[in-house]
Amino acid sequence: MEKSYELRGIGKSFPGVRALDDISFKAEGGKVLALLGENGAGKSTLLKIMNGDLRADEGELVLNGNPITLHNPQEAIANGISVIYQERQLIPHLSVMENIFLGELPKTKLGLFDKANLIKKTQAIIDDFGLPIDPQEKVGMLNVAHQQMVEIMKAYRRNSDIIAYDESTAPLTDTEIKILFDLIRKQKAEGKVIIYVSHRLNEIFQICDEIVVLKDGKFVKTLETETTTEAELIKCMVGRDIGDTYANLKRNDKYGEVVLDVKDLKTPYVHDVTFQVRKGEVVGLAGLVGAGRTEVARALFGADPVLKGEIILDGKKTNFKYPADAISAGVALCPEDRKDQGLVMYRTIRDNVAMPVIDKAVKGGVFTDEKRMTELADNAVAKYDIKTPTIYKNVVELSGGNQQKVILGRWTNELMDTKVLILDEPTKGIDVGTKAEIYQRVCDFAKQGMAVIFISSELTEVINVADRIIVMHNGHITGEVKREDATEENVLALAMKE
* Contact criterion met (CB below 8 Å) for 81 and 5: yes
Rounded to whole angstroms, the Cα distance separating 462 from 286 reads 7
pLDDT, position 244: 66
Q: What is the pTM of this model?
A: 0.68
pLDDT band for position 361 (cuts 50, 70, 90) = low
Q: Is the pLDDT of residue 261 over 90?
A: yes
Please report the pLDDT score of residue 488 as a whole number. Answer: 84
Question: What is the tens place of the pLDDT at every residue in 26-81?
Answer: 999 999 999 998 777 888 899 999 999 999 999 999 999 999 999 999 999 999 99
What one-character DSSP code corresponds to residue 130?
Answer: T
Q: Residue 366: pLDDT above 60?
A: no
Which residues are CB-neighbours of 124 under 8 A, at least 6 positions away? none
232 backbone dihedrals φ, ψ, rounded to 5°: -65, -40
Half-sphere exposure of 419 (CA within 13 A, CB side): 20
Higher pLDDT pick, 354 / 49: 49
Domains of the chain with CATH codes:
4-238 (3.40.50.300), 258-495 (3.40.50.300)
Return the higher-pLDDT residue of 365 and 269.
Answer: 269
Tell me the pLDDT of the chain averaged across its residues: 89
At residue 109, the pLDDT reads: 80
Question: Mind giving me the DSSP string for 1-68?
Answer: ---EEEEEEEEEEETTEEEEEEEEEEEETTEEEEEE--TTSSHHHHHHHHTTSS--SEEEEEETTEEE
Compute the distance between CA of residue 497 and CA of residue 257 in angstroms, rounded to an integer: 31
pLDDT recorded at residue 363: 55
Q: Check if the beta carbon of residue 260 is closer than 8 Å to that of residue 470.
A: no
**181-203 mean pLDDT:** 92
Chain centroid to Cα 375, Å, comes to 28
- Angle made by CA atoms 269, 95, 101, in degrees to the nearest 5: 140
> Lowest-pLDDT range, 87-96, 116-125, 184-193, 240-249?
240-249
Half-sphere exposure of 471 (CA within 13 A, CB side): 23
